Structure 1
Amino acid sequence: MSAPHGPAWEFLLLFVVVIGGPLLLERARAPGIIGLLLGGYAIGPNGLGWISHANDTLPDLGQLGLLYLMFVAGVELDLALLRAYRRSAVSFGLLTFAVPMAAGTAVGFTLGWSAPAAFLLGSLLASHTLIVYPLVRGAGLGSDPAVATAVGATVLTDTLALTVLAVVSGTSGSDASTGEVMVRLVAGFAVLGGFCFYTLPRAARWCFRRLGGERTVRYLVAVAGFLAAAVLAEVFGIEGIVGAFFAGLALNHLVPNEGRLMDRIDFFGAAVFIPVFLVSVGLILDPRVIAEPRTLGLAALFVVACLGGKVLAAWLARVLLGFSGARAGVLFALTAPQAAATLASTTIGYRIGLFGTTVVNAVLVLILVSLVVSPVAGRRFVRRVPRPSVTDRPLGSRVVVVVSTVDPSPEVFRVAARIAAPDGGVVHPVLLRRESDPAHDAAAVSALEAAANAHGVDGAGAVVVDRSLAAGVAHAAAAHLATLVVVDGPMWSGTAGVASPAPVLEYRGPEGALLHPPAPPDLAGELSRRASTPVDA
């Protein structure tokens, strides 16, 4: 007999930590992410030593998890909110980046660091991760102006932080002149931008429509997309996480936040890739280093520079943008957490020799403090912000397509997809049956989903059985919390006594569509513009 060793043993340790670490910490009312970091320490060379310094498997998987984390950060952002509140988002984004950036850079220079190390420290303190956003959205504030501003600002702050990272990593340890490095980086960003924002979305859309009937295909296309962007970035000396983040932004409008593809991306990210990255970071964690006065002193400086900068930026937003005190508090709660880009920049700074073990452990203390402070602040200020009306939801956020056959008109899905696209919404196909109709089977739902997938629709199919088609339409709208219902054919005409909770658009083929109340007066014009088909109110 011999002691456990080899890949099976290492993966067993990894998944035990992934399962048990967050559970134990969450029972102690601490963020689950800390359990992954502590679990990585426990099995790592500074803990029990079950994973040695010579192990390459977990660090390599951690690198893949880092790319996945940055891809998810880009694909999950609500770009519709950015467009709606772009002025306040850009203004606040510059504030919440510039203030901590300046403070962190000043700390670096005060400590006698080199310029690249100081700038990298400033950029990682200036970024943020929307860890508190689910809490805020769950409280019904997803469309609040302050929340929308913070979400939109995330695009700017993370892009700027990753740009600084790309410049610093590209110039550090290179024998080329600064001018040559900058030319290479500019050319790299141009090529990367063209690939991510022009080629990748078109290639993905083609694959989704031609191959999207298979549930795994869309997910694999998304994974291949961000890996291709990461490889292309590295060809030009840009960190792969920049390419992964840009790929997420580029595919954002093709992956609705409530669609099935996003469910798969979130599932595999939360279950495997992102936890593996966090555990791999925990391998570097060393409590002996954290307990040193120098580490604690650095951590205190980082906390003051980061959280102090975020507080000042939120206060300036209150003064300059006219937010209330409660909304300014929500801005701080959303932009204070340090996780994704912070860990990414710290890991890369350690890898290229700009940061030592002491700095890495001090940053981990900062992350811990930010993850404790932010939810507390979020819960406190969220209670004081008025809830928006349910009717304020964007028109295309949840579109339900109701059909009575598994072979409906292809154009009805195209119309629904066009309406949902500007709001980054999801389209759910629903097969409607009367109680007197023959029973349906699973093949009917699969056929409906296949027909929808062929036209870029990513929502989950469902069957509604009711006493009449009109009642079925109303119940389907209520069950899916629809903002708009698109019906294929005259299912809604002559429906006295039946009320739908959402406007109903009756698609009539080439002759156009008929809009049924309740609907604002200008809704028909907006639908005509989006759907590219005449709509009569």
Structure 2
Amino acid sequence: MTYLGEIALILFATTIAGALSQRIGIPSVIGQLLVGILLGPALLNWLQPGELVHVGSEIGVIILMFMAGLESDLKLLKRYFKPAISVATLGVIVPMVCFYIYGIVMHQSFERAVFWGIVFAATSVSISVEVLREFGKLNSKEGATILGAAVVDDIMAVLILSIFVSMFSSGQSGAPNLAISLAEQAAYFVMVFVIIRWVAPVLIKLFERLPVPQAVPIMSLVICLGMAYLADLTGLSAVIGAFFAGIAVAQTNAHEEVETNIAPIGYAFFVPIFFVSVGLEMRFDHFWSNLGLILGMTIVAILSKLIGGGLGAKLLGFNFHSAYIVGAGMVSRGEMALIIAQIGYQAKLLHPNLYSELIVVIVLSTILAPLLLKDGIERGGQVKECVRKRSDRVG
């Protein structure tokens, strides 16, 4: 029954850390991430990234992205889908080019240098979503662009990974057929459209008639977990399915009831476990001996996404501060990069001695991303305030 103590420790520590973070003016998610580093193998070693944490974190990130979809404005997402494609495209190309060059400079082989780029081309906006929500920016043009870009980015990363592993993998046999994978993913997005347009509203109406407490929230969770599972089966990230499930439920009359009932479950239990799980991946085994490599990779990881994503937004008419917010929102690598790194390690596309260092860089970029996003949002707010005061004087 030791898992009961672990859960109690996680919930207590993340609550205190979140409160302290807000008190000193940083996003509460930073404190929760640091709890994982403090209590995990990197320092105190009180918690291990075992099955409990793994399952809890998967459910946590799925609920987090479901709530993001539930709170998103579908019209706004459609309006900024074109900038999202630009942000995702440059946000993939720039990191891949930068990490390929950096890998060659660090004497990696062609395949390993390219794979570095694939790992850091991935984006995980689940943590950025929490910061956007905290600052009331989830339903802004920047928030809509970041969410839309995350969907496109995920598809691009999966396609590039599938092609690369099938061409260069020496540790896996029978790599999935690319044409079949593409067909499955295309079918999935057709299914998403059908669910949003017809299936979700019908299911929600049916469950509204059942004389069972919480029937509608339960049905919404079935839709969420089902779409996440199907996304995972097609090779996409489960969080993409959860996000679209949130959008589907948001189009029904049960939007407020679902949000009121699901949010406490997620934010009081599963979401903190997810944030802690990211910190638990940190290790300091060879940190000091490879400090130069780690710092160099972290700088490239942050700047390549910040510049790539920001440039993609700037080219589509965003001003500098909005482009900076979008770029910062794409910096977090999180679970998507961790999964790709693990696949590369199993396929012998990563040097065994550098695997742990790569994980450290992924975690560091994920921890620093909310700080960059907070800085961008605050700078954007200051600019708007200056413009407003100037307008008042002119008026």
The equivalent of 2:339 in structure 1 is 348
Is the contact between residue 95 and residue 117 of structure 2 (CA under 8 Å) also seen in structure 1?
no
Is the contact between residue 322 and residue 380 of structure 2 (CA under 8 Å) also seen in structure 1?
yes
The equivalent of 1:374 in structure 2 is 373
1:361 alignment partner AA: V
The equivalent of 1:384 in structure 2 is 383
Provide, for residues 84-109 of structure 1, a one-character-per-residue CA deviation record: whole Å limited to 9, x for no partner: 34444433443344333433444345
Which of the numbers 254, 259, 262 marks the counterpart of 2:259? 262
Change (3 A) 1:165 1:271: farther
1:267 CA displacement: 3.2
1:314 CA displacement: 2.9
Q: Greater share of strand residues, 1 or 2?
A: 1
Provide, for residues 416-435 of structure 1, a one-character-per-residue CA deviation record: whole Å limited to 9, x for no partner: xxxxxxxxxxxxxxxxxxxx
What is the CA–CA distance in structure 1 between the aligned matches of 2:194 and 2:51, rounded to whole Å?
36
Is the contact between residue 18 and residue 28 of structure 2 (CA under 8 Å) also seen in structure 1?
yes
- Give the structure with higher Rg (CA): 1
1:207 alignment partner AA: L
Is the contact between residue 66 and residue 224 of structure 2 (CA under 8 Å) also seen in structure 1?
yes
Which of the numbers 259, 263, 272 marks the counterpart of 2:269? 272
Q: Does 1:94 align with 2:86?
A: no
1:74 CA displacement: 4.6
Is the contact between residue 62 and residue 276 of structure 1 (CA under 8 Å) also seen in structure 2?
yes
Gaps of 5+ in 2: 389-395
Is the contact between residue 57 and residue 273 of structure 2 (CA under 8 Å) also seen in structure 1?
yes
Q: Does 1:218 align with 2:210?
A: no
1:295 CA displacement: 4.3
Change (3 A) 1:256 1:266: farther
The equivalent of 1:286 in structure 2 is 283
Output the TM-score relative to the length of structure 1. 0.58
1:123 CA displacement: 1.9
The equivalent of 1:246 in structure 2 is 241
The equivalent of 1:328 in structure 2 is 320
What is the CA–CA distance in structure 1 between the aligned matches of 2:8 and 2:125, rounded to whole Å?
34
What is the CA–CA distance in structure 2 between the aligned matches of 1:75 and 1:284, rounded to whole Å?
29
1:8 alignment partner AA: L
Where does 1:506-517 land on structure 2 (aligned, <5 Å)? Answer: none
Is the partner of 1:352 in helix, strand or coil?
A: helix
Change (3 A) 1:289 1:314: same
1:328 alignment partner AA: F
Is the contact between residue 151 and residue 240 of structure 2 (CA under 8 Å) also seen in structure 1?
no
1:337 alignment partner AA: G
Change (3 A) 1:57 1:174: same
Q: Greater share of helix residues, 1 or 2?
A: 2
Range that drifts further, 122-131 or 331-340: 122-131
1:315 CA displacement: 4.7
1:273 CA displacement: 1.8
What is the CA–CA distance in structure 2 between the aligned matches of 1:108 and 1:50, rounded to whole Å?
35
> How many residue pairs were aligned?
370
1:270 alignment partner AA: Y
Where does 1:16-35 land on structure 2 (aligned, <5 Å)? Answer: 16-35=12-31
Provide, for residues 155-191 of structure 1, a one-character-per-residue CA deviation record: whole Å limited to 9, x for no partner: 43344345545666788643115xx531342243144
Q: Which has the higher contact order (CA 8 A, sep 6+)?
A: 2
Q: Does 1:310 align with 2:302?
A: no
The equivalent of 1:483 in structure 2 is none
Range that drifts further, 158-167 or 218-227: 158-167
What is the CA–CA distance in structure 2 between the aligned matches of 1:263 and 1:369, rounded to whole Å?
31
Change (3 A) 1:96 1:49: closer
1:58 alignment partner AA: V
2:13 alignment partner AA: V
What is the CA–CA distance in structure 1 between the aligned matches of 2:162 and 2:310, rounded to whole Å?
27
Change (3 A) 1:339 1:100: closer
Q: Does 1:81 align with 2:60?
A: no
Is the partner of 1:13 in helix, strand or coil?
A: helix
Which of the numbers 179, 183, 201 marks the counterpart of 2:179? 183
1:276 CA displacement: 0.7
1:210 CA displacement: 1.4
Identical-pair percentage: 22
2:249 alignment partner AA: L
Change (3 A) 1:132 1:104: farther
What is the CA–CA distance in structure 2 between the aligned matches of 1:227 and 1:147, rounded to whole Å?
24
What is the CA–CA distance in structure 1 between the aligned matches of 2:159 and 2:218, rounded to whole Å?
27
The equivalent of 1:497 in structure 2 is none
Which of the numbers 198, 202, 205 marks the counterpart of 1:206? 202
